[in-house]
């Protein structure tokens, strides 16, 4: 069926309406999520602070940063929902929780919210890349790029860099500055977040000590950030993903085929706040995380999307370029022949 035929448009409207039934925030679910996440997170922090003051071996504290990082990931999902105005009915409540969650995850609320909105408006659109997404070049762009630009791209796409250095740089450095083109509100959110972080460091300096604070917070931030970058990566970089030029870009296809259904074990799905159901999230960003599974189970088209397993997701690590001829992601190795042709001028 043509993408813009009357039948297709009618079908899309039915899909959107079906998803929309799950957009209503539920106060009980929201409050319960706050309790089952913030309480253990703060409790773990208190225990780690106590242990470090008592001189317990650092490996014990480091082990406890793993569940604390899991709670931090969930807190970021709440932050993410607040950015979409979906966690609570009240915009004011979303903003308050968004700022608090953003401070705990070192992410400025308004500034990240603006960049993320751009990501939703452009996901899967080859002509509108570059804001809130993972740098992705087409084969033609890569072959035409300068050696230095190719090197930079290959370095960024190296898993050690992408999932080792990038998360730390994003959390600790990039989020301390507003995005390009940020307005007054976005710049103010960066300032407020930075001042709050400075305040936390000040309190730490007169309690457990800045060194002790960093020895707890840095592992939590880096572990949570690494998982977060991986999730964001595989949600739009996987075998069979949809990308298109703007003139042919279809937002529903971008959601249902350009965003993965990352099927995780239940415990990991809980830790990541159902964000693996990313196809639903992109179809209707207003569906709060605690309604995503219900939406998946209740809307038949959502269940037809082929799940991406953990094992299959690992294949995405070798998919680095978009091949417009074949309409799929390909590896660097697969374009060696084209590189040779380009070098010889053929």
Longest dimension (CA), the chain: 70
Q: What tens digit of pLDDT does each residue of 161-183 get?
A: 999 999 999 999 999 999 988 89
Its sign, for the CA torsion 248, 253, 255, 258, is negative
Give the SS3 label for residue 307.
strand
Name, in order, each residue with C-beta under 8 angstroms of 200's C-beta and a sequence gap of 6 or more. 103, 213
Confidence label for 344 from pLDDT (cuts 50, 70 and 90):
low
Where do we find the tokens 């569906």?
287
Global pTM reads 0.92
- Residues 206-233: what's their mean pLDDT? 96
Res. 237: pLDDT tops 50: yes
Which of 41-45, 131-135, 303-307 reaches the highest mean pLDDT? 41-45
Distance between CA atoms of 277 and 267, rounded to whole angstroms? 14
* β-pair type (328-330, 321-323): antiparallel
Q: What is the pLDDT of residues 116-130, one digit of tens each?
A: 999 999 999 999 987
Please name every residue paired with 116 in a beta bridge, in sequence order, or none if there are none. Answer: none
Selected residue with higher pLDDT from 283 and 338: 283
Could you tell me the pLDDT band of residue 20, with boundaries at 50, 70 and 90? Answer: confident
Q: Where are the domains of the chain?
A: 6-344
- Determine contact, residues 179/111, Cβ cutoff 8 Å: yes
Contact 77, 86 (CB under 8 A): no
pLDDT in tens, 239-282: 999 999 999 999 889 999 999 999 999 999 999 999 999 999 99
Give the Cα separation of 107 and 201 in Å (integer): 16
Q: Is the pLDDT of residue 148 over 90?
A: yes
Place of tokens 């060194």: 211
Q: State how far the Cα of 260 lies from the Cα of 278, in Å rounded to an integer.
A: 6
**Number of other CB atoms surrounding residue 339 within 10 Å:** 14
Residue 155 half-sphere exposure toward CB, CA atoms < 13 A:
8
């Amino acid at each position: 069926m043509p993408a813009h035929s009357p039948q297709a448009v009618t079908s899309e409207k039915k899909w959107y309406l079906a998803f929309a039934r799950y957009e209503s925030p539920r106060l009980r679910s929201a409050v319960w999520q706050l309790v089952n996440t913030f309480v253990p997170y703060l409790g773990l922090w208190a225990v780690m602070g106590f242990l470090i003051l008592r001189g317990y071996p650092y490996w014990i504290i480091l082990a406890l940063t793993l569940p604390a990082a899991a709670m931090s990931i969930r807190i970021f999902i709440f932050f993410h929902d607040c950015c979409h105005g979906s966690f609570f009915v009240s915009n004011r409540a979303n903003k308050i929780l968004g700022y608090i969650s953003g401070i705990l995850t070192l992410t400025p609320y308004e500034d990240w919210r603006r960049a993320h909105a751009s990501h939703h408006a452009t996901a899967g659109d080859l002509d509108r890349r570059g804001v809130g997404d993972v740098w992705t070049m087409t084969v033609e762009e890569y072959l035409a790029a300068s050696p230095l630009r190719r090197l930079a791209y290959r370095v960024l796409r190296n898993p050690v860099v992408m999932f080792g250095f990038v998360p730390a740089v994003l959390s600790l450095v990039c989020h301390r500055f507003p995005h390009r083109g940020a307005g007054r509100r976005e710049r103010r959110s960066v300032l407020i977040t930075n001042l709050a972080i400075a305040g936390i460091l000040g309190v730490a300096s007169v309690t457990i000590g800045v060194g002790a604070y960093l020895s707890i917070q840095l592992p939590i931030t880096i572990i949570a950030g690494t998982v977060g970058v991986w999730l964001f990566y595989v949600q739009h970089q996987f075998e069979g993903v949809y990308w298109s030029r703007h003139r042919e870009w279809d937002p529903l296809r971008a959601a249902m085929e350009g965003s993965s259904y990352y099927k995780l074990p239940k415990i990991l799905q809980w830790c990541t706040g159902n964000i693996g159901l990313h196809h639903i999230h992109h179809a209707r960003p207003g569906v709060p995380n605690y309604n995503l599974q219900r939406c998946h189970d209740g809307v038949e088209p959502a269940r037809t999307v082929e799940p991406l397993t953990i094992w299959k997701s690992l294949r995405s690590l070798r998919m680095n370029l978009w091949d417009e001829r074949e309409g799929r992601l390909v590896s660097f190795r697969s374009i060696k022949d084209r590189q040779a042709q380009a070098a010889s001028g053929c």
